[in-house]
Chain A
Amino acid sequence: MIELEGVGRSFTVRRRTGRLLRREKAVVHAVRDLSFSVAPGEFVGYLGPNGAGKSTTIKMMTGILTPTEGRLRVAGLDPSRRRTVLARRIGVVFGQRTTLWWDLPLRDSFELVRHLYKVDRNTFRQRLDELTELLELTSFLHTPVRQLSLGQRMRGDIAAALLHAPPVLVLDEPTIGLDVVSKAALRAFLSELNAERGTTVLLTTHDLGDVERLCNRVMVIDQGRLSFDGTVEDLRATAPDESSIEDVVARLYTGGGTAAAEPAQQLGSSVAQ
């Protein structure tokens, strides 16, 4: 469903130097030589410290950024070249940024999504009813998006991303800033979506509760390279002496050398370092 082969993305950064109008060029590799594949129906957690390249990867998978190296396939398409076609086969949610229309009531945003994604009226109504019930949208369906609370907005965003029933759902920090109850509800929803519909889900998060409860596979990216790929149990096994998953991941992030190497081959995915 998602395939990456030696994908890299570098940015040329111009820095001001001391002298006036003189600038120095530097190349920053946000992601380098990244290879993995995600099978249909998997629920993958994509972890990594801030600035590790998580968002860059997601932006390449959704066609927002064009990779500078390597080959990428999502739902059978090259994202940056077939972006508008891919949009119909993928749902994308950014936790930090809404994809809804800020000034429109939620219901109008959904109606627009219906037209833009060419979902027929009956299917749309049926899905919207379903999503409204599962995500409990009824009370704020007619409120403009800008007036929604973060939790409400997030549920609205997720509903909008699923109205066209995409086989792949990509979530960038969907639980960021949500309270415990909202988080639990969202997790229950995502887990059901994956189990019942078989939707492939890839999410990035800093909340390891998400990973423990949802993901049957975890990938960790660090400094633009994959440093771990395996199940949650494998992840724990990298540091058996640590009691909490937070500590295990913290060790991975800070580069607890042995931790990164061992389980690397788990799913036959290539791993750097």
Chain B
Amino acid sequence: MARAYVLLAWTWLRASFQYPASALIGLAVAMALYTLDVAAIWVIFGHTERLGGFTAHEVMFLYGTAGVSFGLADMLFGNVDRLGAQVRTGTFDTMLIRPVSPFVQMAVDRFTVTRFGRVLQAGVVLAIALPQLDLAWSRVWMVPVMIVCGLVIFTSVFAFGGAIQFLLTEAPEIANAFTYGGSQLTQYPMTVYGAELVRGVTFIMPLAFVNWQPALFVLDREDPLGLPHWLRFASPVAALAIALAAAALWRVGIRRYRSTGS
């Protein structure tokens, strides 16, 4: 499956480089846009020392980990939420007759260099923030774990968004509320949001496990909302649970796929 992915991604990349200027400008524009995001953090910290009890570098750490997780998920699988368009035009049929998972084919479809934009930008932010935090090695190991868990969680959210479109072909907007909305949400400390929302993204849509809960461990903080201590190690479990649910929904979606006329 990974082999098919790399193969298809490489083919699409090569095809996109038939117009190299367009591909590179796309990447530059994407990175510039995301950089404005970070500028917002600096603007906020120009006015305040702490945001929800967190320093600028800590917020950058939250932003960077969420951004890298989301960037990787979006780069590798984000295209799944364009499923509706493929279903409407009937091109999804052709993905079903090839000996490769349609999820992989959908994810890799039209892979371009632009997709690297967010992950590169978030990686830079994380690389700047990490050395400033002066973390102990006994806590740093959590960083790669949380990035992988975040990747799985965001990928599952994308898969949910795609699967919904088997049933409602006009639903990408609903799906985007959770994917891109979720990415925005995890960029800041959860303490800036209301407690109800945080409970929601902890126990219903487990976005708090992308970076918030494990970050409390990495940064050695008490949970400002007083949730149990063990939750900060629960990210892999949350990631696994949402991934299984998403896979199940995707399968249901494929079985209920209706194709188009002709």
Contact = CB atoms under 8 A, between A and B. Distances in A.
* A and B held together in a complex: yes
Interface of A: 11, 55, 59, 62-66, 80, 83-85, 87-88, 90, 92, 94, 96-99, 101, 103-104, 108, 112, 115-117
Contact of B94 (A83, A97, A103): A97
Contacts of B255: 66, 80
A62 B93 CA distance: 10
Given A84-B99, A87-B98, A112 B259 contact: no
Contacts of A62: 96-97
Interface string B1-22: 0001001100100110010000
11 contacts: A63-B96, A64-B97, A65-B258, A84-B99, A84-B100, A88-B99, A90-B97, A92-B97, A96-B262, A97-B94, A104-B15
Nearest to B94: A99
On chain B, which size bracket covers the interface?
20 to 34
A94 B15 contact: no
Nearest to A112: B11
B262 A11 contact: no
Contact of A83 (B11, B96, B259): B96
B262 A55 contact: yes
* 7 nearest A-B pairs in the assembled complex, by CB-CB distance: A87-B99, A99-B94, A92-B97, A64-B96, A103-B15, A84-B99, A66-B255
B250 to A, nearest CB: 14
Given A64-B257, A80-B255, A97-B90, A116 B262 contact: no
B91 interface: yes
A255 B97 CA distance: 34
B99 A117 contact: yes
A112 B261 CA distance: 28
A97 B91 contact: yes
A212 B99 CA distance: 33
| Residue in B4, B94, B101, B257 with the greatest tally of chain A CB atoms within 10 Å | B94
| Residue in B8, B98, B255 with the greatest tally of chain A CB atoms within 10 Å | B98
Nearest to B97: A92
